[in-house]
Amino acid sequence: MILDLSLKELEEYVLQLGEQKYRAKQLFEGAQALKELQEISNLPKSLKEKVQKDYFSYEVAAHLVSKDGTQKVAIRLADGSVVESVLLSYKYGHTVCVSTQVGCRMGCKFCASTLNGLQRNLTAGEILLQVLFFNKLLGGNLKERKVTNVVLMGCGEPLDNFDNVTKFLRLVTAEEGLNISMRNISLSTCGLVPNIYKLADDGFSVTLTISLHAPNDELRKTIMPIANAYKIDEILRACDYYFEKTGRRICFEYSLIEGLNDTDECVQELAKILRGRSCHVNLIPLNSVKEKKLLGVSRKKAYVIADKLQKLGISATVRRSLGQDIDGACGQLRNRVGGAK
Ligand code: SAH
């Protein structure tokens, strides 16, 4: 698919088609503006015919706007798979939350994305498409970019789709592309340790966000199957390595579940394991998922916990909860069959 290719790769591609190299730029700009092939007026018909089979296609299966302004789109891809993405608008810019897989195989007990397991990995171009979609919707283009930030926090585990995700990071940060800076990108993972090292070694300096959700392995195992594969200790060592390599402060997500991980002991233990590290804790009152029995804490309680952590020397804030009424908040994204709502 054309959006999987960098400008350089597109140049090789057009040469292979027997076309001139400069056509690549025209094709690149047209595709990244999400134009239909027919709409790219500076390309000859003969080239369009050759490119047609590799061009992208998608449909908007659903588009919802929350009362807080957050937007969610369900995009039906060429093979019929549906992916959900969210646009969060702030005073300082626009953030797109992208999905990296159709479904997810991590099996976290509180998350909607994993309910039907993993269907397939998304390609780099399919992840990029989600960002380009909102950039276009906001009236932006490659020269006048509207999307300022990207978070890999939608459906799927980004580090379980490492090659496509890193390719996406290269595409979205490319100077000739959307040119979004690495520091404006957050990648959230449940903690696939070997790939945290790989990300650092491959020179990616995105903000690494770890879904921790528990201060010890026993408790973590009850809600996150991945805890059976990697210990918190190993995750923290990988985070230290990532910090050394990139100088980027690590963010820890901690979704607060009533009566489970919100106790005083948990807060003390969390502070203890994170003490001395350059990090930030983002507290998220669990968002409700109708198939799940777990309950979130009140925002008031979350603020009390943030305060306790601060007093214990750990930087902590409560994440704003946006798009809850359109199932667009953390852990609520899924690949709805047919995109129906
Ligand atoms: N697979 C990646 C990306 C998902 S990002 C990861 O695990 O980090 C989504 C974030 O929301 C993760 O921190 C995830 O654990 C959290 N989350 C999942 N379900 C949630 C829910 N119902 N309420 C609040 N947060 C949730």
Reported as a single tens digit per residue, the pLDDT across 66-86 is 998 899 999 999 999 999 999
Domain identity same for 89 and 230:
yes
Q: Tally the domains of the chain.
A: 2
d(CA 129, CA 167): 13
In a domain, 310, yes or no: yes
Whether 1 maps to a domain, the answer reads yes
Most informative mutation of 105, 110, 195, 333 for ligand 1 (most atoms within 8 A of CB): 110
Residue 157 counted as domain residue: yes
Based on the fold, state whether residues 30 and 179 are members of the same structural domain: no
Q: Whose CA is nearest to atom 6 of ligand 1?
A: 189
Residue 265 in domain: yes
At 26, which CATH number?
1.10.150.530
Domain-located, residue 339: no
Is there a single domain that holds both residue 91 and residue 4?
no
142 within a domain of the structure (yes/no): yes
Average pLDDT over residues 138-158: 95
Residues 125 and 24 in one domain: no
Question: Does residue 264 share a domain with residue 138?
Answer: yes
What span, in angstroms and rounded, lies between the C-alpha atoms of 223 and 114?
A: 13
Same domain, 201 and 246: yes
- 272 pLDDT exceeds 60? yes
Of 178, 62, 67, 195, nearest to 128 by C-alpha is: 178
Number of H helices, E strands in the chain: 10, 12
328: confidence class by pLDDT, cuts 50, 70, 90: confident
Q: Is residue 336 part of a domain?
A: no
Check 97, 239, 279, 330 and give the catalytic one: 330
Query: Given 3-state DSSP classes, what are the helix, strand and coil percentages for the chain, each rounded to the nearest 5?
Result: 40, 20, 40
94 and 233 both lie in a single domain: yes
Range of the domain at 29: 1-55
Clarify whether residues 36 and 102 are in a common domain.
no
Q: Are residues 281 and 210 in the same domain?
A: yes
* Distance between CA atoms of residues 328 and 321, nearest Å: 9
Atom number of ligand 1 nearest to Cα 111: 19
Please state, rounded to an integer, the average pLDDT across all residues of the chain: 94
Condensed to tens digits (0 to 9), the pLDDT of residues 104-140 reads 999 999 998 999 999 999 999 999 999 999 999 999 9
Q: Is 17 exposed, middle or buried (0-12, 13-18, 19+ CB in 10 A)?
A: middle
Q: Mean pLDDT check: name the lowest of 110-124, 301-315, 320-334.
A: 320-334
Q: Which atom of ligand 1 is nearest to the CA of 332?
A: 22
Strands (E) located in 51-184: 58-65, 71-77, 82-90, 93-97, 101-103, 118-121, 147-152
Tokens of 33: 């503006």
CA of 140 to the centre of ligand 1 (A): 29
Same domain, 34 and 158: no
CA distances (Å), 113 to each of 99, 118, 171, 200, 333, in order? 10, 9, 25, 26, 6
Ranking 110-119, 123-132, 144-153, 217-226 by mean pLDDT, the lowest is 110-119
Do 45 and 73 sit in the same domain of this protein? no
More confident of the two residues 99 and 293: 99
Q: Which of 84, 126, 157, 253 is catalytic?
A: 84
Q: Round to whole Å and give the CA distance between 196 and 105.
A: 18
For range 279-287, the mean pLDDT = 94
Asked whether residue 340 is domain-assigned, the answer is no
The response to whether residue 101 sits with its C-beta less than 6 Å from ligand 1 reads no
| Ligand 1 neighbour 188 (Cβ under 6 A) | yes
Q: Which atom of ligand 1 is nearest to the CA of 100?
A: 3
This prediction has a pTM of 0.95
Same domain, 44 and 66: no
Ligand 1 pocket member 211 (CB < 6 A): yes
Based on the residue annotation, tell me whether 330 is a catalytic residue of this protein: yes
Ligand 1 geometric centre to CA of 41 (Å): 43
Q: Is the pLDDT of residue 341 over 50?
A: no
